[in-house]
């Protein structure tokens, strides 16, 4: 059964769907001796290109250091898309695996996304993909958008899942859900 906008309860991932850390990842990786292309920056690809020992050193710099974290850009079309979702009266939540929630909020504030779109009532920060599923289930989320196929596979309580694949890296999802590469492609599934 297709959901109408009034039936939707959307869950958004933050990084890779709303905020774009691609250029930060490239700059930071270069400091660690790695030369990356934009298509190397989505989380699942990034993890296969940069060794875990280096990732463990990079993550705090990327997400917790204000000098780097506040340089993240918004995904093209995200602000306009969030405006349209809000204006349509659709219920939505942010469910992110950012460990440092205070820096995540600062990043959202920096882009005028907090409290305009996200606030203490509709933004949640968790640790594991399974935690995203638990939170989504508790909130009644019936459509979730994430940039990581492996995370979407863990959201078993969410009937409709959309892979946000801005660099078209992943092909058709292995689960029976949709894939988009931009907010322009995403919005018809929401409105």
49-80 pLDDT, tens per residue? 899 999 999 999 999 999 999 999 999 999 99
pLDDT at 1 over 60: no
pLDDT at 8 over 90: yes
pLDDT at 169: 87
pLDDT tens column, 118-152: 999 999 999 999 999 999 999 999 999 999 999 99
At 161, is the pLDDT very low, low, confident or very high (cuts 50, 70, 90)? very high
pLDDT at 36: 92
pLDDT at 135: 98
What average pLDDT does the structure give for the chain?
93
Q: Which residues contact 80 (CB under 8 A, 6 or more apart)?
A: 183
pLDDT at 177: 82
pLDDT at 4 over 80: no
CA distance 132 to 142: 13
Q: Where are the domains of the chain?
A: 5-19+74-190, 22-69
pLDDT at 60: 93
Residue keyed to tokens 């298509």: 39
At 175, is the pLDDT very low, low, confident or very high (cuts 50, 70, 90)? low
DSSP letters, 113-158, are: -TTTT--TTTEEE-SSHHHHHHHHHHHT--EEEES-HHHHHH-TT-
What CATH number does domain 5-19+74-190 carry, 3.30.300.30, 3.40.50.1000, 3.40.50.2300, 3.30.70.380? 3.40.50.1000
pLDDT at 176: 72
184/7: higher pLDDT: 184
pLDDT > 70 fraction of the chain, expressed in percent and rounded: 96
């Amino acid at each position: 059964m297709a959901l109408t906008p009034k039936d939707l309860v959307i869950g958004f991932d933050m990084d890779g769907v709303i905020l774009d850390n691609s250029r930060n990842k490239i700059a930071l990786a270069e400091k660690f001796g790695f030369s990356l292309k934009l298509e190397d920056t989505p989380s699942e690809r990034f993890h296969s290109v940069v060794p875990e020992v280096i990732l463990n050193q990079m993550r705090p710099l990327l997400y917790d250091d204000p000098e780097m974290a506040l340089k993240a850009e918004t995904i093209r079309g995200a602000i306009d898309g969030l405006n349209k979702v809000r204006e349509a009266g659709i219920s939505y939540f942010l469910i992110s695996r950012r460990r440092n929630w205070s820096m995540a909020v600062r990043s959202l504030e920096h882009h005028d996304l907090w409290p305009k779109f996200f606030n203490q009532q509709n933004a949640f920060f968790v640790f594991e993909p399974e935690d995203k599923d638990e939170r989504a289930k508790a909130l009644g989320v019936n459509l979730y958008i994430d940039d990581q196929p492996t995370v979407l596979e863990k959201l078993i309580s969410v009937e409709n899942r959309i892979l946000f694949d801005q660099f078209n890296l992943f092909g058709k999802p292995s689960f029976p859900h949709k894939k988009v590469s931009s907010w322009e492609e995403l919005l018809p599934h929401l409105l």
